[in-house]
A = this chain, B = another copy of it.
Amino acid sequence: MKPVPLSEIIEAIGGSYAGPRELGIVHIRPLRDAGPEDLSFLSNPKYQPLLSETRAAAILVGRDVEGDDPRFIRVGDPYLALATILQTWFAHVPGPEEISPRAEIASSARLGDGVAVGPNAVIGENAVIGARVRIHAGAVIGAEVRIGDDTVIYPNATVYHRCIVGRRCIIHSGAVIGADGYGFATSGGRHHKIPQVGIVRIEDDVEVGANTTIDRAALGETVVGEGTKIDNLVMIAHNVRIGRHCLIVAQTGIAGSTEIGDGCVFGGQSGAAGHLRIASGVQVAAQAAVMKDAPEKITLAGSPARPLREFLRSQALVGRLPDLLKRIERLEEERRDK
């Protein structure tokens, strides 16, 4: 691809830089791999030792990083600057640019300006698709679905009938929005299906990872709040309500009807039981299992989850059990010796 003038990049992100400006940047690469036509960055301090070794042409660093390498571009938040640079010059995703003759679009569906639909994608009856939405190959959008402007649906994702997806959302391949919640009335040892007649409502700026499933409500709505980012293979059960700007890391499961506040973080493979209320700002460690309400901001760990400090203390004491056992044995021996 054509090099991007470094001067343009610096102008866009507003960093301070003392090196030559006539360079052209071909790729953004990590410190270890960057060559003399590449821009790199330091965001995780763990990689600081690589600063002296990298062959990068220029390096985004924080204002507090030591050294005076002329390649440093000092900015307030290198990671955010990186996001801007990538988004502006390096993030083009190939895919549908128009409506494929091999897309199957119901005649009653309404499509906004500039919608692109890939081959073998399907849009059901009365669906309403916002402007500039991009629906990749093989994705299936059910009847009466509403999708907001500028959203992207990747190949082979499925949105069931009547669900609502906001603006600027990204739904990755294999994600399933709106399958039936897991609801049965058990009688005489048999499980009778409770038809799931609610929907999923996803607000603006949400990202849903590959093969994640978000079930439709039994009645009413399963909700994912604005700006929340969900990783791959996550399970959001029926009638869950997730607040705004949460992070739900891969393989997490949230059971039915649980309500989660704003700005929560669930680590990988964590879970929450059903019908809980979890306050804004709660953080849940990887593999933890939240089994009761978390009424205020706290960090939880363990299965079942407890406050992190308590968890760490228990862990440490469990590690010291051999020592405790020895001390008990010594006390017993001394008693016998008397």
A87 contact from B27, B161, B195, Cβ within 8 A? B195
What is the chain B residue whose CB lies nearest that of A187?
B80
Q: Count copies of this chain in the complex.
A: 3
A-B contact pairs, 30 of them (CB 8 A): A27-B219, A33-B220, A77-B187, A79-B185, A79-B194, A83-B184, A86-B197, A90-B197, A91-B195, A94-B143, A95-B142, A100-B104, A122-B155, A136-B140, A138-B156, A156-B176, A173-B179, A189-B245, A189-B263, A191-B245, A193-B229, A231-B235, A255-B286, A287-B289, A304-B315, A314-B318, A317-B318, A318-B318, A328-B328, A331-B331
* A174 x B213 contact (CB < 8 A): yes
Given contacts A104-B120, A156-B140, A176-B174, contact A314 B321 (CB under 8 A): yes
* A255 x B232 contact (CB < 8 A): no
Complex interface: chain B residues within 8 A of A29 (CB):
219-220
A83 contact from B86, B156, B185, B269, Cβ within 8 A? B185
Q: CB within 8 Å of B: which of A63-97?
A: 77, 79-80, 82-83, 86-87, 90-91, 93-95
Give A contacts to B, CB under 8 Å: 27-30, 33, 44, 46, 77, 79-80, 82-83, 86-87, 90-91, 93-95, 100, 102, 104, 118-120, 122, 124-125, 136-138, 140, 142-144, 154-156, 158, 160-161, 170, 172-174, 176, 179-180, 182, 184-185, 187, 189-195, 197, 207, 209-211, 213, 215, 219-220, 227, 229, 231-233, 235, 237, 239, 245, 247, 249-251, 253, 255, 263, 268-269, 271, 273, 275, 286-287, 289, 303-304, 306, 310, 313-315, 317-322, 324-325, 327-328, 331-332, 334-335
